[in-house]
Amino acid sequence: MVRGRLMARWAEFQAAERDMAGRVAERFAIRKHKTLATLRKDGSPRISGIETEFENGEIYLGMMPDSRKLHDLRRDPRLALHSPTDDPPIDRPSGWRGEAKITGRAVEVSAASSPVAGAGRIRVDITEVVLTYLNRAGNRLVVESWHPGRGRDRLERA
């Protein structure tokens, strides 16, 4: 827990919300490159491309040595990950599979297996997971969210 915020590992989220976790992982798997948001030294946001690994009940990020995003996370571990997205089918907007977002904190772990000296390997401890998609009719946005200790919420917006 950090400043009153509970955190969870990916395996804990999977155990609590197996179906939602499967849909979130599927959204992250549609393309190799995802988007990572970190905070610069002055507090302004930085957006970077990133690759993720869902492995052994954890989410991992790998970073090159001296990358700006690695320096950002070493200084302030707060982060947000955004899945790749697909455009909805033109003839069937309700076929849009949606997008997923994960927010949390970076925990640096050993990057000993990396062939690049000084590379960073980051585990993500989760504070929130959000899955956004269209309802079956394609006329309302559905937002499902999960928070450790609070569980899952669902809302629909026109």
Q: What is the CATH number of the domain that holds 58?
A: 2.30.110.10
Q: Examine the pLDDT at 22 and tell me if it is beyond 90.
A: yes
Give the range of the structural domain holding residue 114, as residue numbers without chain letter: 10-157
Q: Does the residue 5 lie in any domain?
A: no
For the chain, the distance separating the N- and C-terminal CA atoms, rounded to the nearest angstrom, is: 35
Q: Does the residue 17 lie in any domain?
A: yes
Q: Does the residue 90 lie in any domain?
A: yes
Give the per-residue pLDDT at 113. Answer: 61
Q: Does the residue 3 lie in any domain?
A: no
Q: Does the residue 2 lie in any domain?
A: no
Residues of the chain above pLDDT 90, percent? 75
Confidence category of residue 91, pLDDT binned at 50, 70, 90: confident
Q: Does the residue 86 lie in any domain?
A: yes
- Mean pLDDT for the stretch of residues 43-62: 96
Confidence category of residue 90, pLDDT binned at 50, 70, 90: confident
Query: Can you tell me the distance from the alpha carbon of 82 to that of 45, in angstroms, rounded to the nearest whole number?
Result: 14
Q: Does the residue 25 lie in any domain?
A: yes
Structure tokens at 36: 């990572």
SS (H, E, C) the chain: CECCECCECHHHHHHHCHHHHHHHHHHHHCCCCEEEEEECCCCCEEEEEECEEEECCEEEEEECCCCHHHHHHHHCCEEEEECCCCCCCCCCHHHCCCEEEEEEEEEEECCCCCCCCCCEEEEEEEEEEEEEEECCCCCCEEEEEEECCCEEEEEEEC
146: nearest Cα among 21, 36, 5: 21
Confidence category of residue 92, pLDDT binned at 50, 70, 90: confident
**pTM (predicted TM-score):** 0.91
Q: Does the residue 40 lie in any domain?
A: yes
Query: Can you tell me the distance from the alpha carbon of 106 to that of 121, in angstroms, rounded to the nearest whole number?
Result: 9
Confidence category of residue 1, pLDDT binned at 50, 70, 90: low
Q: Examine the pLDDT at 4 and tell me if it is beyond 70.
A: no
Q: Which residue has the higher pLDDT, 138 or 1?
A: 138
**What total of structural domains would you count in the chain?**
1
